[in-house]
A and B are shown apart, each in its own frame.
Chain A
C-alpha cells in the first residue's frame, strides 16, 4: 500500500507541476499576446484612470477632466468648447481623439516616455505618469474676436504672427461642443450621430481641413510672381489690358466687377481688384513661374502639420493658357485653406519670408516645468524683400481707399486684400467672401498679425464688395484684439 500511496502522491505532484507550468505559460510566455488583445480593456481603463493633462491658451486651461467614478473614470470637459473645438478637437472614450487631443495624446494622457522620471522607471514600477500640459500659441482675445465675428455664419478664420508662424486664432463656424462626445454612454453616441447628420458639418475644421477657391486674394501670389519676374517695372503705369479679357485660345471673355479696369495700372487693378489685369499678368508669368511662386507660399505642400495635418492647398501645375489665366485670379483648380491664405498675407507682412505655422508653443510636465518648446520652423523665401515692400504698399492702399476700407484700424497700419470666389456648377453657388490682411500697431517695428477670413454664405451681392463687407470686419476685430493684447500676452 505504501508504494501506491507514493504513486498517488507523485500523481498529485505532477498535477501541481502542470499547474505551475501552465501558469507560467499564461502569465509570462503568452502574456504579451493577451495584453495586446483588442478585446482586453485594461489599457483603456488605465488610460482613463487619471485626469488628462490640459490644453492651455495663455495661462488658462481650456480643457478639464471630470471624475465620473465609472469604469473609464475620467472624462474630458471643455471650457468654451465650440470656440476652441477647431484647435482641441475632441477626446472621446468611444470615438478616439482628434486634432491637438490626438497629436498631443502622449503628453496629455501621460504615456509619453519623456514624462517618466527615469528611463524604464515605469516599466519597473508599473506606475503611470500624470498627464502633461500643452500650451498653445493662441491669443484668447483674437480667438474670441474671430469666433464672435463669425457668429451665425459659415466660415473660418486663421490668424498668424508673421515673424514666427505662431497661430493666434483658428476658428471654424458653425462649430460644436466636444464635451458631449467625451463619455462612452448612449448620450455620447447620440451626440455623435447628431453631429454627423448635421448638414452644416459642424465637426469640419474649415480653417485647416477645408479648401476654398481663394478668388481675388490669390492676386497677391500672382503679383508677387510678376514683380519678382520683373514684369511690372512701374506699378502706376497703365497695363494695356482690355476690359473683358479674352482668355487665350478661347472665346470666353473674362470681365470685371469693378469699374474702370480697362488699361488700369497695376496699383489700381490691385486696389479695385481687376480680374483682367491679373489674368493677363499670370499668363505673362507663365505656368512654371506661377507654380513656383505658389509653391513657395506653401501651395501643393502635403506635409504641413501644425501639429495636426493641414489640407493641401492646390495650384494646378498642368495648365493651358486659359486655365492659367483663371488660376491666376484664384479660380479654376486653385484652392486654399484659410490658414494657407493667412500664410500668404504673413509672407507679405514679413518681408517675403514664410514660416510654417504652428499651434503648440510648448509642452510641460504636470507641475508646469517645460518639457519641450516649439523648435524653429523652416523658412521659405516666397518673394524678394523689395517685392514684399511693394505689395505691403498696395495692400495698405486697398484698406485706405479700396475694397477693404472696413478693415481700417485707427492708429495702425493695416494692409488687406478682398476676394470673392465663385464656385458651384456654372458659378451658381453663393460666392465665398474672402479677406486676407495684416496689421502693424503704431509702435510696432513689424506687422504683428496676418489674418485670413472666409465667409461661405456672404451677402449674395456679387463683387469684391462682399469680401470687404462680410469678411473684413471680422479680420479687423481679430487684428485689433491682437494689437491690443500685446501687453497682456506673456513672452511677446
Chain B
C-alpha cells in the first residue's frame, strides 16, 4: 500500500498533450439557450397547470435568466475561453429549475413568496460568478490566502452564535431583513484552505511521522494545524446544531486527505472517527437522536396520532410522483410543511417530475461533479487538483446528504440542495463554486492544449 503511494505521490505522470482540446464556447452557448428555454418552459407549465393560462411574467422571467446566463457566458468567453463548456449550462439549468420549483410552491403559499428573493440572490450569485471569472486570473493566487481563509472560516462559523436560533439551528445571521447563512460561504473557503495546506504539506504528511502497528502517522507539527481547524469547525457546527454542514466538512477533510497523501489509512481512520462521532452524537444529542429515530421509523408519528412528519410527507410525495410524475404544478408536496422550499425542495421535483425527472437532476449534479474531477485530473499542480476535487466533492457530498435524507436513505440533516433550494447564501456559494471550477478547468484544458498558463 505504502509502496504504491510513494510511486504515485512522488512522480505523477505528466498528462500527455496528445491532441488539443477544442474550446467549445459555441456548444456552451447552445446549452445555455436550452437550459433557459427549459426553465421558461417549466415556468409556463406551472402557470398552465394552476390557472390554465401562461403566467404573466414568463417573458420577463425568461429574459432575466437569459440575460444573466448570457453575461456569464460572455465573461467565460472573455477570460476563461478554454473552460469546460458543461459547467455553466448545468448551473444555469439547475438554478432555473430551482426558481421554477420555488415559484410553483409560492402559488400554494400566497402569504410567503420566496421566488422574488431567490431571483435577487441568483442575480447576486451570477454576478459573483462573473466577478470571479473576470478578476481571478489564476486560481493559484488563492494559495497565497491560506491563512486568511482560515480566519474567515472561523469568523463566519462563529458569527451566528451571536444571533438567535431559527428552527432549532443557530446558523443564520440577520441583517436588514436578509438572513444569511455564513456556514455556506465558509465551506468554499475551507475547501481552499484544505487544498492549499495539503498541497503545501502533502509530502510531510505522507512520509514523516511515527509508525504505530501498521499505520504511519504524520508528525503533530504537520497534522496539528489542519486537524485543529477541522475540529474547531466541526465543534462550532455541533454547537450550532448544523449537522449537515459538519458532516460535509468531515467528508471534505477525509476525501482531500486521502487524495493528497494517497493513504488508505486515512479513510479507515476517518470512517472510525465518523462512526464514533455518529454514535456519540446520536446517543447524547436529543435533536440528532430524534432524527435518527425518524429515519428508522418514518411513520411512528402517525401511529402516535400526531399525523405524518416531514419525512413521511416527503416519502408520500416521492411515491405519488412514480415514474413520470404528476406534472409541474399538479402535485401536493406543500403538505410537507415549512421546509418544503428549502430542505425538501427535492420532494417537489420527485412528485411533479417523477423518477425520470429526479434521475435527470441527479445526473446533472453527477455531470457537474464529474467535470470538476476531470479538471482536477487534467491539472498538474497539486493545489489546483485538490481545489477541483474539493469543490466537486463538496457538491457531491451535499447532494448525497440532502437527497439521501429526504428519500429516507440516511438520517435527515438540514442542508440546502445546491442551486435548487430556497436560500440566498447557498445559491451565491454554489455560483462561486462553479466559478472556481470554471477557472480551474480553464487552466486544465489550456495546459492540455500545450499553452502556458498566464
Pick the most buried of B307, B396, B399: most chain A CB atoms within 10 A of its CB.
B396
Contacting pair B354 A4 (CB below 8 A): no
0 or 1 for each of B252-284: is its CB under 8 Å from A? (1 = yes): 000100111010000000000000000000000
Q: From the candidates B315, B359, B382, name the one contacting A26 in the complex (CB within 8 A).
A: B315
- A27 at interface, CB cutoff 8 A: yes
Judge whether A28 and B13 touch: CB under 8 Å: no
* CB within 8 Å of B: which A183-219 residues: none
A13 at interface by CB-CB < 8 Å: yes
A305 to B334, CA, bound (A): 42
> A11 CA to B330 CA in the complex, in Å?
36
Residue-wise, chain A 1-16 has the 8 Å CB interface mask toward B (1 for contact) of 1111111110111011
Given contacts A4-B8, A5-B373, are A40 and B404 in contact (CB under 8 A)? no
Contacting pair B258 A4 (CB below 8 A): yes
Rounded to whole Å, the gap between the CB of B403 and the closest CB of chain A is 5
Interface membership of A126, Cβ < 8 A: yes
A42 contacts B258, CB within 8 Å?
no
Given A5-B377, A8-B373, A23-B355 contact (CB < 8 Å): yes
The smallest beta-carbon distance between A351 and chain B, in angstroms, is 58
CA A126 – CA B359 in complex, angstroms?
Answer: 21
Q: Does A373 contact B (CB under 8 A)?
A: no
Kindly provide the distance from the CB of A67 to the nearest chain B CB, expressed in whole angstroms: 14
Q: Are A34 and B362 in contact (CB under 8 A)?
A: no
Return chain B residues, CB-CB under 8 Å to A22. Answer: 404, 407-409
Which of B111-119, B223-231, B318-326 makes up part of the contact surface?
A: B318-326
Q: Which residues of B contact A19 (CB under 8 A)?
A: 362, 399-400, 403-404, 407, 409
Tell me, rounded to whole Å, the shortest Cβ–Cβ distance linking B189 to chain A. Answer: 21
Which residues from 10 to 56 on chain A have a C-beta closer than 8 Å to any C-beta of chain B? Answer: 11-13, 15-16, 18-20, 22-24, 26-28, 30-35, 37-42, 45
Among candidates B255, B312, B321, residue contacting A8 with C-beta atoms closer than 8 Å = B255
Number of residues of chain A lying within 8 A (CB) of chain B = 37
Which residues from B are CB-within-8-Å of A24? Answer: 355
Contact with A along B199-216 (1 / 0, CB 8 A): 000000000000000000
**Residues of B323-339 whose CB lies within 8 A of A:** 323, 326-327, 330, 332, 335
User: Which of A15, A27, A45 is packed against the most chain B CB atoms within 10 Å?
Assistant: A27
Closest Cβ neighbor of A125 among chain B residues? B327
A110 CB to nearest B CB, Å = 16
Contacts of B197 in A (CB 8 A): none
Per-residue CB contact flags for chain B residues 231-267 toward chain A (1 = under 8 Å, else 0) read: 0000000000000000000000001001110100000
User: Which of B8, B302, B319, B362 contacts A30 (CB under 8 A)?
Assistant: B319
**In whole Å, how far is B347's beta carbon from the nearest beta carbon of chain A?**
10
Which residues on the A side are within 8 Å of B315 (C-beta)? Answer: 26, 30, 34
Q: Is A6 within 8 A of B377, CB to CB?
A: yes
Query: Is there contact, CB below 8 Å, between B326 and A126?
Result: yes
Closest residue of B by beta carbon distance from A34: B319
CB-CB < 8 A to A26: which residues of B? 315, 318-319, 350, 407-408
Least CB separation from A18: chain B residue? B409
- Could you tell me if A5 and B376 are in contact, using CB atoms closer than 8 angstroms? yes
Contacts of A39 in B (CB 8 A): 299, 302, 307-308, 312, 316
Please, how many angstroms separate the alpha-carbon atoms of A340 and B373 in the complex? Answer: 83
Residues in B whose Cβ lies below 8 Å from that of A45? 332
> Which among B319, B326, B369, B404 is the interface contact of A18 at CB below 8 angstroms?
B404
Asked if B12 and A2 make an inter-chain contact with CB atoms under 8 angstroms apart, the answer reads yes
Does B445 interact with chain A (Cβ within 8 Å)?
no
Check if B393 is an interface residue, CB within 8 A of chain A.
Answer: yes
Task: Give every chain A residue within 8 A of B255 (Cβ-Cβ).
Answer: 8, 11
Asked if A27 and B354 sit within 8 Å, CB to CB, the answer is: yes
Per-residue CB contact flags for chain B residues 356-381 toward chain A (1 = under 8 Å, else 0) read 00110011011001100100110000
A3 neighbours in B (Cβ, 8 Å): 4, 8, 262
Cα A19 to Cα B409 in complex, Å, equals 8
Q: Which of A7, A8, A11, A28 contacts B322 (CB 8 A)?
A: A28
Nearest chain B CB to A72 CB, angstrom units:
11
Taking the complex as formed, is B385 at the interface, i.e. its CB lies under 8 A from any CB of chain A?
yes
- Chain A residue numbers with a CB within 8 Å of B362 are 16, 19-20, 23
Write the nearest CB–CB distance from B180 to chain A, whole angstroms.
28
B407's partner among A9, A15, A23, A41 (CB-CB below 8 A) is A23
Q: Per a CB cutoff under 8 Å, which of B9, B316, B318, B350 touches A37?
A: B316
Contact of A27 with B382 in the complex, beta carbons under 8 Å: no
Interface string of B89-100 (1 = CB under 8 A from A): 000000000000
Q: When the two chains form their complex, are residues A40 and B12 in contact, meaning their CB atoms are under 8 A apart?
A: no
Is B102 in contact with chain A by the CB < 8 A criterion?
Answer: no
State how many angstroms separate the Cβ of A253 from the closest Cβ of chain B: 62
Partner of B316, one of A1, A6, A40: A40
| Distance in angstroms between the alpha carbons of A33 and B399 in the assembled complex | 26
Q: Nearest chain A CB to B372's CB is how many angstroms away? A: 9
Distance from A127 Cβ to chain B, minimum over Cβ atoms (Å): 10
| B307 CB contacts on chain A under 8 angstroms | 39
Contacts of B312 in A (CB 8 A): 37, 39
Asked if A9 and B316 make an inter-chain contact with CB atoms under 8 angstroms apart, the answer reads: no
A23 touches B332 (CB 8 A): no
The yes or no answer to B44 lying at the interface (CB within 8 A) is no
Whether A1 lies near B12 (C-beta < 8 A) is yes
Asked whether, in the complex, the Cβ of A23 is within 8 Å of the Cβ of B258, the reply is: no
Cross-chain contact A1 with B318 (CB below 8 angstroms): no
Cα distance A9–B375 when bound, in Å?
12
- Let me know if A35 and B358 touch, CB within 8 A: no
Kindly state the separation between the CA atoms of A19 and B365 in the bound complex, as whole angstroms.
11
Contact (Cβ within 8 A) B389 A8 = yes
A41, B358: Cβ atoms closer than 8 Å: no
Task: Tell me, rounded to whole Å, the shortest Cβ–Cβ distance linking A465 to chain B.
Answer: 58
Q: Measured between alpha carbons, how far is A15 from B401 in the docked complex, in Å?
A: 9
Instruction: Report chain A residues within 8 Å CB of B358.
Output: 23, 27
Of chain B, the residue at the smallest CB distance from A27 is B355
Q: Give residues 75-100 of B contacting A (CB, 8 Å).
A: none
Q: Name the contact of A1 in the complex, choosing from B8, B302, B327, B330 (C-beta under 8 A).
A: B8
A278 to chain B, nearest CB (A): 59
Please tell me if the beta carbons of B393 and A27 are within 8 angstroms of each other in the complex: no
Give the complex CA separation of A388 and B307 in angstroms: 62
Instruction: For B369, list chain A residues within 8 Å (CB).
Output: 9, 12, 16
Distance of A11 Cα from B382 Cα, bound (Å):
20
Is A1 a contact partner of B350 (Cβ separation < 8 A)? no
In this assembly, does B392 line the interface, its C-beta being within 8 Å of a C-beta of chain A? yes
* Least Cβ–Cβ distance between A71 and chain B, in angstroms: 8
Across-interface contacts of B397 in A (CB, < 8 A): 15
Residue of B nearest to A9 (CB): B373
What residues on B are CB-neighbors of A16 within 8 Å? 362-363, 365-366, 369, 396, 400
**Interface 0/1 of A298-329, CB less than 8 Å to B:** 00000000000000000000000000000000
Question: A23's contact among B318, B396, B399, by CB below 8 Å, is which?
Answer: B318
Given the contacts A16-B366, A18-B409, A42-B320, A2 and B13 also touching, CB distance less than 8 Å: yes
Chain A 411-430 interface 0/1 with B at a Cβ cutoff of 8 Å (1 = within): 00000000000000000000
Q: Which residues does chain A contribute within 8 Å of B308, judged by CB atoms?
A: 39-40
CB pair B354–A34 under 8 Å, yes or no, is: no
The interface residues of chain A lying within 8 Å CB-to-CB of B299 are 37, 39
Residue of A nearest to B401 (CB): A15
Task: Report the Cα distance A126→B321, complex, angstroms.
Answer: 11
Complex contact A1–B385 (CB within 8 A): yes
* Cα–Cα, bound, A24→B359 (Å): 9
Task: Report yes or no: A42 in contact with B322, Cβ–Cβ below 8 A.
Answer: no
Question: Which residues of chain A have a CB within 8 Å of any CB of chain B?
Answer: 1-9, 11-13, 15-16, 18-20, 22-24, 26-28, 30-35, 37-42, 45, 126
17 contacts between A and B (CB under 8 A): A1-B382, A3-B8, A4-B8, A4-B262, A8-B259, A9-B369, A16-B396, A23-B407, A26-B315, A27-B321, A31-B319, A31-B322, A34-B318, A39-B299, A39-B308, A40-B319, A42-B316
Q: What 19 new A-B contacts, CB under 8 Å, besides A34-B316, A34-B318, A126-B326? A: A1-B8, A1-B382, A1-B385, A3-B8, A5-B373, A8-B373, A8-B389, A8-B393, A15-B396, A19-B399, A20-B359, A22-B404, A27-B323, A28-B355, A37-B316, A39-B302, A42-B320, A45-B332, A126-B330
